[in-house]
Chain A
Amino acid sequence: MTWLLPEGASLSFNGLDQPLRILRGLGGGTQGQVFAVALEGSGSGETLALKWYFPSCIQRDPQLRDRLNQSIRLGAPNGDFLWPLALLEPSPTSNSPSSRGFGYLMALRPDGFVGAHLHAGGELEISLQTVLKACFRLADGFHQLHLKGLCYKDVSLGNLFLEPGSGRILICDNDNVDIDGRGVGSVLGTPGFMAPEVLLGQARPSASSDLFSLAVLLFRLLTRHDPFRGRLELTIRCLDEPARRRLYGEEALFIFDPLDHRNRPDPIEHAAALVTWPIYPEGLQRLFVQSFGAGLRQPQQRTLTGQWIQALGRCLDQRQLCPHCGQETFAEPEASSSCWSCGGPLQPALHLQLPHGRVAAAAGNQLHPHHFDPLSNANLDTPLARLVAHPSDPALLGLQNLSDHSWQGVLSSGASLTLEPGQTCNLAALQQLHSSAGSILVVRP
Chain B
Amino acid sequence: MAFPNVRLSNRPLHFIYLCDCSGSMAAQGKMQALNQAIRQSLPGMAEVARQNPEARVLVRAVRFADQAAWHLAEPTPVQQLQWRDLEAGGITAMGEALNLVAEVLQSPPMEERALPPVLVLISDGQPTDDFDAGLARLMRLPWAQKAVRLAIAMGHDADLEVLQQFIGPEPSGAGKSPRRPLQASNATTLAQYIQWASTAVVGAASMPASRVTPAPAADRPNPSDSVGNIPLPDLPPTLLDPSVDVGPLVW
Residues of A within 8 A of B (CB): 1-2, 4, 30, 54-56, 59-61, 97, 115, 117, 119-128, 131, 154, 156, 158, 173, 186-192, 194, 220, 224-226, 229, 234, 236-242, 244, 269-272, 275-276, 279, 321, 326-328, 341
Question: Complex formed: what's the CA distance from A401 to B120 in Å?
Answer: 63
Contact B234 A54 (CB under 8 A): yes
CA distance A97 to B238 in the complex (A): 11
Contacts of A117 in B (CB 8 A): 51-53
Assess the B213–A30 pair: CB atoms within 8 A. Answer: no
Query: In the complex, what residue of chain A is closest to B3 when comparing beta carbons?
Result: A126
Assembled-state Cα–Cα distance A54/B236 (Å): 9
Beta-carbon contacts under 8 Å, B1-47 to A: 1-9, 11, 44
Count contacts between A and B, CB distance < 8 Å.
154
How far is B51's CA from A200's CA once the two chains are assembled, in angstroms?
26
Compute how far the CA of A123 lies from the CA of B229 in the bound complex, rounded to whole angstroms.
30
Pairs across A and B, CB under 8 Å, 8 listed: A30-B210, A56-B242, A120-B8, A122-B8, A125-B2, A156-B210, A238-B114, A241-B231
Pairs A-B, 7 closest by C-beta atoms: A122-B7, A121-B53, A191-B208, A272-B6, A240-B229, A186-B212, A188-B211
Partner of B211, one of A2, A194, A272, A321: A194
B143 at the interface (CB under 8 A from A): yes
Contact A122 B1 (CB under 8 A): no
Docked complex: B163-210 residues within 8 A CB-CB of A: 188, 192, 195, 200, 205, 207-210
A30 contacts B200, C-beta separation under 8 Å = yes
* Residue in A121, A127, A186, A242 whose beta carbon sits within 8 Å of that of B3 in the complex: A127
For B1, list chain A residues within 8 Å (CB): 127-128, 321, 326-328
Give the dominant DSSP class at B's interface: loop
Whether a CB of chain A sits under 8 angstroms from the CB of B221 is yes
Min CB gap B81→A, angstroms? 19
Q: Once bound together, how far apart are the Cα atoms of A279 and B2, in whole Å?
A: 12
B89 at the interface (CB under 8 A from A): no
Say whether A187 contacts B210, CB under 8 Å: yes
CB contacts (< 8 Å) of B52 on chain A: these are: 117, 121
Contact A2 B239 (CB under 8 A): yes
Known: A237-B113, A275-B6. A187 touches B222 (CB 8 A): no
Interface presence of B248 (CB below 8 A): no
Chain B 70-93 near chain A by CB (<8 Å), digits 1 or 0:
000000000000000000000000
Residue of B nearest to A117 (CB): B51
A284 → B minimal CB distance (Å): 16
Give chain B residues whose Cβ lies under 8 Å from the Cβ of A115. 51
A237 to B50, CA, bound (A): 23
A225's nearest neighbour on chain B, judged by CB, is B8
**Given A240-B116, A272-B6, A326-B1; A56-B11 close (CB under 8 Å):** no
**Min CB distance, A192 to chain B, in Å?**
6
CA of A244 to CA of B2, assembled, Å: 32
Q: Which residues of B contact A341 (CB under 8 A)?
A: 4
What is the CB-to-nearest-CB distance from A421 to chain B, in angstroms, rounded to a whole number? 28
| Contact, CB under 8 Å: B51 / A55 | no
Chain A residues with Cβ below 8 Å from B113 are: 234, 236-237, 239
A130: nearest chain-B partner, CB-CB: B3
Cβ of B234: which chain A residues have Cβ within 8 Å of it? 30, 54, 56
Measured in the bound complex, the distance between the Cα atoms of B233 and A60 in whole Å is 13
**Which A residue's beta carbon lies closest to that of B7?**
A122
